[in-house]
Amino acid sequence: MGHDHAHHHHDHAPKLDHLNTAFIVGIILNSLFVVVEAVVGFANHSLSLLTDAGHNLSDVASLALALLAFKLSKMRANNVYTYGYKRSTIVVSLLNAIILVGAVGIIAYEAIMRIGHPQPISGITVAWVAFAGILVNGVTAWLFMRDKEKDLNVKGAYMHMAVDALVSLGVVVSGIIIYFTKWYWIDSAVSLIIVVVIITGTWRLLMDSIRLEIDGVPKQMELNKIKAELLKAKGVKDVHHMHVWALSTTENALTAHLVIHTEEMANFNDIKHDLRHRLEHLDIQHSTFEPEFAGEPCHEKICS
């Protein structure tokens, strides 16, 4: 029995035109802010500012990688990469999460080393620079807000910027406290709080990225629900040897063996189109089916 392929290419990814602008604006704003924050942080010996600058630098790299992944995902398939470069979006999502977790580790180490040996800093300067960070990160997060649920990379960019805005708010508060109390240890303590906030916001992104990278079933998809939907199609007696995985952060694929009632085999094209329509509503854009006659033994060792 030959394979029947139901591949179709609806572009469910966010359109690149406005996202391209969002990424570029975000990269420019955050790059400029990283320079300002690092200079002021070094001049004032502020670990919280240097911490935030390092984190913002990783965000700039993340935004650049995500933009590159979007551009690659639009490239045509070829004889070597038969699905094109769609999977680059998953690779970038995982890489961004790993970079962020690594940066957090360095931040935590520096904060712990310095918390017992605080250095005098200008609280009011720290507060003003961090306030600028709230504006920069808030504007950048707003650029990605409407598309954050459509793509894992866009969601990652939004989360990074939103978390950064909250982190900057924390640094503003610490700067004000230092200005009035001269409690310089607050600077390192805020850095550790920043670490906890970042890890909390990044862990789910990391787990989701790993899941897609090793071809796990995409989040919020249930195989039993998908199988039940396929069995509703007229002529389909059973479904087995079913696999669902992500082609990219926005497109999913399915392969399955379909047991078809003998009298319905001549109508398999109609069955296929019905199944395709059902799968689209389950956010599966690419499907491959192998039809089998009812009673025909499955030759796949892993059929169930």
Look at residue 17 in the predicted model and tell me its pLDDT: 58
CA dihedral 113, 116, 122, 123 (to 10 degrees): 100
Last residue of one domain, picked from the residues 181, 213, 245: 213
Based on the domain organization, do 207 and 250 belong to the same domain? no
Based on the domain organization, do 202 and 126 belong to the same domain? yes
Based on the domain organization, do 46 and 163 belong to the same domain? yes
Look at residue 14 in the predicted model and tell me its pLDDT: 42
Based on the domain organization, do 69 and 125 belong to the same domain? yes
> Domain tally for the chain?
2
Based on the domain organization, do 208 and 271 belong to the same domain? no
Look at residue 253 in the predicted model and tell me its pLDDT: 92
Based on the domain organization, do 254 and 164 belong to the same domain? no
What is the pTM (predicted TM-score) of this model? 0.70
Q: Give the residues across from 286 on adjacent strands.
A: 7, 253
Q: What is the pLDDT of residues 100-159, one digit of tens each?
A: 787 778 778 877 877 777 767 777 887 888 888 889 888 888 888 877 777 777 877 787
145/238 Cα distance (integer angstroms): 42
Contacts of residue 205, defined as CB under 8 A and 6 or more positions apart, other chains included, come to 93, 96, 97, 152, 155, 156, 159
Based on the domain organization, do 49 and 81 belong to the same domain? yes
Based on the domain organization, do 181 and 231 belong to the same domain? no
Look at residue 7 in the predicted model and tell me its pLDDT: 46
Look at residue 298 in the predicted model and tell me its pLDDT: 59
Q: Which structural domain range is residue 156 located in?
A: 16-213
- Phi, psi values for residue 117, rounded to 5°: -135, 65
Distances (CA, A) of 299 to 1, 268, 302: 10, 20, 9
Based on the domain organization, do 193 and 50 belong to the same domain? yes
Length of the chain: 304
Based on the domain organization, do 147 and 265 belong to the same domain? no
Residues of the chain with pLDDT under 50: 1-3, 5-14, 16, 301-302, 304
In a domain, 191, yes or no: yes
